[in-house]
Amino acid sequence: MQQVNLGMIGGGTVGSGVFHALQLNGGLLASRIGVEVRVRKVAVKAFDEPRPYEIPKSSMTTDWQAVVSDPQVDVIAELAGGTAIARTMVLAALKLGKPVVTANKALLSACGEELFAAAREHGTNLYYEASVCGGIPIIKSLREGFVGNRITRLYGIVNGTCNYILTRMKLEGADFEAVLKDAQAQGYAEAEPSLDVDGHDAMHKIGILASLAHGFWVNPKDIYVEGIRSVTQTDIQFANQLGYTIKLLGIIKRDEGQGTKAGARRSSPARVQVSVYPTLVPNGHVLASVNHVFNAVFVRGDIVGDTLFYGRGAGKDATASAVLSDLADAALDLKFGTKHRVPPFVQHERDGAVVPIGDVVSRYFVRLNVMDKPGVLAKISAIFGEAAIGISSVIQPEGHQGATVPLILMLHDAPNGAVTRALKKISGLAVVKGAPVMIRVENFA
């Protein structure tokens, strides 16, 4: 049996998880692929840093450069995280012609094009299944399983922290801040939670998926992002009354009407919505029932139709499973000399573009805090009417105490920019108190 020597950079939660998984199932992996993956060295920040699984001190070093440059190391696994030093580490390995496995979505989001180009230039490969949705094999599915499909829709619940918070807010009637504090206490949220709750982690992941699905590299600056801090218990209750559940969705939609007819030699340049924001999901849709820390990705291909991927999207074991999958691919590519059997990224749509959020069309849930007096709805309706925005339903609860009452409006399909401008005018009305709340509604058509 052949042997591939692995050099690991990072021995924390993910790194020790991979080390443990190889100790546990390395023999099984070898029997399935005919190659033994053996850990030669693990570069760590410190020998005594806390880690969920033990790594023998004899296997560790604090010199990552020695691991990368070791001539007996065949494959590098970058599991350190971050972007600056991780970029240096990965580029150093690629320039030596060594394949790299990474779980670093922030690095790929920021530097993906550069790293893929370096892999091509130096005749090696970059594997990154673990960078998106942990143990869910969505990268391999988009690159290989759906290679004959145009991806027309992709919706992802890709951040477990946000999904956990929104789930508990709905099921328990709790407020955001209270659930966030509990999530931090249980380790589901970081002490500084902005990466998760402000949508940036989901943005990194959805940008990678959009790039793979549509063949042009999506600049993170072009992705519209909203987090969940503004979602209130009131919004969740009214959404449920209307038959919806609020989820933080990553949304990738190709413009309808583009050339996708059978036999077409080439479709027109892709114009794609790539966004992350809280969304009203119909309670009858499968994504509405994805709860707690679980992730799910709903993919629609023009040939395959609708598919769903579900599982744990983070954590030491789920991520380790994806890293082992990439290590198996890297070992097989080395065994058979097929370094570019599946290129990390193929830019086949050079003229593709991300649709600005102002041009994105959807339905909307709008909550206003208004004075309880005659004529209020007429004034609000007039502004929407001037903007050619239709109102599909209105809720104004009876018996509400106080000088103001909540007014809930469901709007028909309209461009985001038009709705934003109309709400700015509405917020200036004397009868409207406080800032309007607007949450988009997805019908999955």
Q: Which residues are catalytic?
A: 205
Token pair in block for residue 32: 């399935």
Q: Which of 154, 87, 155, 161 is nearest to 126 (CA)?
A: 87
DSSP track, 228-265 = STT--HHHHHHHHHTTEEEEEEEEEEEPTTSS--TT-S
Could you tell me how far CA 430 lies from the centroid of its own chain?
40
Token pair in block for residue 308: 């769903």
The Cα 20–Cα 136 span in angstroms is 19
Q: Which residues of 242-270 are buried (b: 16+ CB within 10 A; e: fewer)?
A: bebbbbbbbbbbbbeeeeeeeeeeeeebb
Sign, Cα dihedral of 141, 144, 148, 153: positive
Token pair in block for residue 441: 């509604």
The Cα 405–Cα 126 span in angstroms is 55
Distance between start and end Cα atoms, the chain: 51
Token pair in block for residue 275: 């966004």
HSE, side-chain direction, 13 A CA sphere, residue 322 = 29
Dihedral angle, C-alpha 297, 300, 304, 308, nearest 10 °: 20
Q: Which of 90, 82, 84 is nearest to 65 (CA)?
A: 90
Q: Which of 340, 315, 346, 344 is nearest to 128 (CA)?
A: 344
Sign, Cα dihedral of 155, 158, 163, 166: negative
The Cα 355–Cα 442 span in angstroms is 17
Amino acid at 248: L
169 phi/psi in degrees, rounded to 5:
-60, -40
Token pair in block for residue 190: 């970081």
HSE, side-chain direction, 13 A CA sphere, residue 320 = 23
Sign, Cα dihedral of 231, 233, 236, 239: negative
Could you tell me how far CA 66 lies from the centroid of its own chain?
33
Strands 35-43 and 361-371: unpaired
